[in-house]
Chains A and B, each alone.
Chain A
């Protein structure tokens, strides 16, 4: 890759090569963009990825289905639970089992909390890159409260590994609903504050309006999903068009943009945060007691009390962990609407304990691959704004 920069420099001395990354001040994880500049105008931008490629897909082939769950946490690490939910949904589709209602509701609740947390990071970091540091600090206070909620439910702030195949790790504590309601109120106030800071701010408007605009046909052709696609004007959201986990029973709207530029993406994300809080309120209102794990002994581990006191449960636990579940032979593709777009899991099973092939379809890979089209002819400052609005999470991009 270094040779590309060098050979371009030798060809044409009017152009300047600027290398952004892989270690760079914008807080977007490791990626590299080689920019060719004429003055401040970008004539060519070659993105390069793979600096966080840890070999997750290959590692998955030597781990059992349950053991892969912590690896899914670390894909989109800003919203870890949504990856857990997406993966568990895929394995449950492969098994053909239906999880209990309470587990579905809690999964929706935690997914929407994660979506809010992810958009907080995206908007906050996008603002920091452009120079608006205050928004980041105000929003991060809300993210800390969300962390407290995750810790209350799952025991961990960031990498929760909250779902299990067939349900959840454990039930949420009794005072969770009270704290979540308080968070919803505070977060709505914080989003209002954020809007007062940025939405009608002339500097923000000038930096982001018209930057990185994309037409709906182009967005579909590039494979965009998620807020970037909706900002371009395409009303595609898997929660509405291919509902899962009972999303069809909740009352929420999907914000659609017009031009697909950075300003529209920002507005779409802010509105999605509000809609997520709306969904959280509805889940809290209708949460009913019940089991959180499917009642299938071939899939669900027995409870710890039984494992420690009964012989059959001990053997059952041993068999499930050491020999894995009885998986059918076949392949499935299951997609959920993660914070960045369509997070897909393609699982190929040959009936054994470990998956034969796990493929993670990262939502930000097609978006990042279109980077050159988005910034060509623009200024470097615009490149930074566009990169922020794309919400590239390297863990998910490179796996």
Chain B
């Protein structure tokens, strides 16, 4: 943040820096809590560890009213289309923190039913390992996200979000064309991507 003080009363800064400062200090989480990490999230929100110090007290369970999605728990293949829908419903700017190893990489569940990491279907900004991560680790993850937001630029829309919306359209096209459920469509897209050697479907 470069500042130039004129008469000690006016401080000019770059617009990016101001906007990013505002965004990083008022991240409203959307806890996408599905499993055990959600219990540690509850601990983090209560008074001992207290995430509200970081401006994140307004815990809205609605994607429309939040900007940071915390994915807390194992995302299974059955839950995958729901996660994509909720992520799509969030308004930009939006960030995703994948809390815990199950969300980051499938965790200890290398099975037919578990999605091996949410970055296969949605873009992720910060990964917090742990099973479950201690509340301090989760807070550190939020702080890392704040560092990342500081360095962002307002002018460019994020490429990965654009690609995500494209992949959502592709998913809907395949779904209506073949008459499959969302889960089976995503599964096919994933296997397709794996054949090409690519990890994610967006």
Contact check, B79 vs A22: say whether CB atoms are below 8 A apart.
Answer: yes
Is A96 an interface position by the 8 A CB rule? no
Q: Mark B172-183, 1 if CB is under 8 A from A, else 0.
A: 000000000100
State A144–B132 Cα separation when bound (angstroms): 15
Q: Mark B145-162, 1 if CB is under 8 A from A, else 0.
A: 000000000000000000
How many A-B residue contacts, CB cutoff 8 Å?
Answer: 93
Beta-carbon contact of B113 and A77 below 8 Å: no
Q: Which residue of the partner chain B has the closest CB to A78?
A: B39
Segment at the B interface, from A37-45, A48-56, A224-232, A348-356: A48-56
B134 touches A157 (CB 8 A): yes
Is A366 on the interface with B (CB-CB < 8 A)?
no
A25 cross-chain contacts in B, Cβ below 8 A:
61-62
A18 CB to nearest B CB, Å: 15
Of the candidates B36, B62, B79, the one whose C-beta lies within 8 Å of that of A74 is B36
User: Interface code B14-44, partner A: CB below 8 Å = 1, 0 otherwise?
Assistant: 0000000000000000001111101110110
Q: B85-119: which have CB < 8 Å to A?
A: 86, 108-114
In the complex, chain A residues 350-399 whose Cβ is within 8 Å of any chain B Cβ: 394-395, 398
Q: Looking across the interface, which residue of chain A has its beta carbon closest to that of B40?
A: A158
Contact assessment for A54 and B43 in the assembled complex, using a CB-CB cutoff below 8 Å: no
In the bound complex, what is the Cα–Cα distance between A58 and B114 (angstroms)?
A: 12
- Beta-carbon nearest neighbor of B83 in chain A: A23
Q: Are A51 and B48 in contact (CB under 8 A)?
A: no
* A236 on interface, CB distance cutoff 8 Å: no
Measured CA separation A1–B48 after assembly (Å): 41
- Report the minimal beta-carbon distance from A25 to chain B, rounded to whole angstroms: 4
Is A141 part of the contact surface with B, judged by Cβ < 8 Å? yes
A204 sits at the interface (CB 8 A): no
| Interface residue A70 (Cβ < 8 Å from any Cβ of B) | yes
Chain A residues packing against B (C-beta within 8 Å): 1-2, 22-25, 27, 29-30, 50-56, 58-59, 70-71, 74, 77-78, 121, 136-137, 140-141, 143-144, 147, 157-159, 394-395, 398
13 contacts between A and B (CB under 8 A): A25-B61, A25-B62, A27-B33, A27-B38, A29-B33, A29-B34, A30-B34, A54-B109, A55-B113, A59-B109, A74-B35, A77-B39, A398-B76
- Contact surface of B with A, Cβ cutoff 8 Å: 32-36, 38-40, 42-43, 46-48, 61-62, 73-74, 76, 78-79, 82, 86, 108-114, 131-132, 134, 181
Q: A51-B34, A55-B114 are in contact. List 20 more A-B contacts (CB 8 A).
A: A2-B181, A22-B82, A23-B61, A23-B82, A23-B86, A50-B76, A50-B78, A52-B76, A52-B79, A54-B74, A55-B109, A55-B112, A56-B109, A59-B110, A70-B108, A74-B36, A77-B35, A77-B36, A140-B42, A144-B48
